[in-house]
Amino acid sequence: MFVPVAYCRLPVRATPKGLCKAILNVYGNPHPGTLDDLVRAVRDAIRDHHTTALLIDDITRLRLHREDDQDTLDLIRELMDLNVTLILIGVDIPGSGLLRGAYVDQRTGQWVFPDNGRGGRHSTAAATQTGRRFDMVDLDPFDYSTPAAITAFLDHLAGIEDQLRLLRSFEGMLTTGEMPEYLFGRTRGVVGLLRRLIEDGCTEAILTGEERLTPELLAKTTIHLGNLDDLDPGAGEVPDIPQNTAPPTKPRRRRRRNTVLDDRGSRPAAGG
């Protein structure tokens, strides 16, 4: 089976064996008993399935004060010498401590990840990775403070809207009127929260027969993060969910009142 891109998540309690098993699960391969056999099986699987990109999510679950986590990071470095692009994904990687000791090459603008020299299980292989470089790409939440940022957010909403199959959906359902500002206020531009809100909102729209998304319907929808046991709050995987779910209120038009001009006080009294 040809698997050009393989995606897995780092276990909450990271160990070299746990990471190897997570990678092998992508291919449906069995798990050998020893660590050396697991590493060999991972290498064989990546080669046999012609994988060109390996994505490891939740990398900030690593805590480098734990020996198992240090060994897991060493194993990740060992995988760098495979003919595969290694992509590590996490929340606030600079603040996680994973880059401690790394520096930016001023000539290339890339990060250099030096060998840690701890002498762990995989440190010999990791020592060959001293000169390896990697790029760090920041994917910030959407912004709503500039015209360009608003346009980018609207383009994203338009892409989501094209995929919805509600019976009463209409062009501009997510991109016109008060909906964009409401969606941004509910999610602060975080893609994961936006996806959850729209998914749960579509479920509510189908169950109630509304068959379309409106701010009023979404105001009754609570954002569910799924299985919280599978998330690590310490790694920034549980975002802060805005609590204000009220739909935007339309400004009330003032009724015109009949005005009586009374100028009696502005002129002197007659007589005398």
The CA-atom distances, in angstroms, between 45 and each of 25, 31, 36, 73, 126 are 10, 12, 14, 20, 21
How far apart are the C-alpha atoms of 79 and 69, rounded to whole Å?
15
From its phi and psi, is residue 86 left (phi > 0), alpha (psi between -120 and 50) or beta?
Answer: beta
| Other beta carbons within 10 Å of 101 | 12
Contacts for 29 with CB less than 8 Å, ≥ 6 apart: 41, 45
pLDDT digits (tens, 9 = 90+) for 133-172: 678 888 888 999 999 999 999 999 999 999 999 999 999 9
Rounded Cα distance between 150 and 163, Å, is 20
Distance CA 17, CA 254 (A): 68
The per-residue pLDDT for 126 is 44
Number of CB atoms found within 10 A of residue 92's CB:
10
In degrees, rounded to 5, the angle at the alpha carbon of residue 160 between the alpha carbons of residues 53 and 135 is 30
Q: How far apart are the first and last CA of the chain?
A: 110
Which value, in Å, is the radius of gyration of the alpha carbons in the chain?
28
Which pLDDT belongs to residue 231? 54
* Whole-angstrom distance, CA of residue 195 vs CA of residue 210: 19
Weakly modelled stretches of the chain, pLDDT under 50: 117-131, 227-228, 235, 237, 251-272
What is the structure's pLDDT at 122? 43
Residues 6+ away with beta carbon under 8 Å from 132: 77, 80, 112, 113
Q: What is the pLDDT of residue 127?
A: 40
Query: Whose CA is closest to 196, among 11, 236, 204?
Result: 204
**pLDDT at residue 258 in the model:** 44
CB 99, CB 142: distance < 8 Å: no
Angle, alpha carbons 194-177-145 (nearest 5°): 60
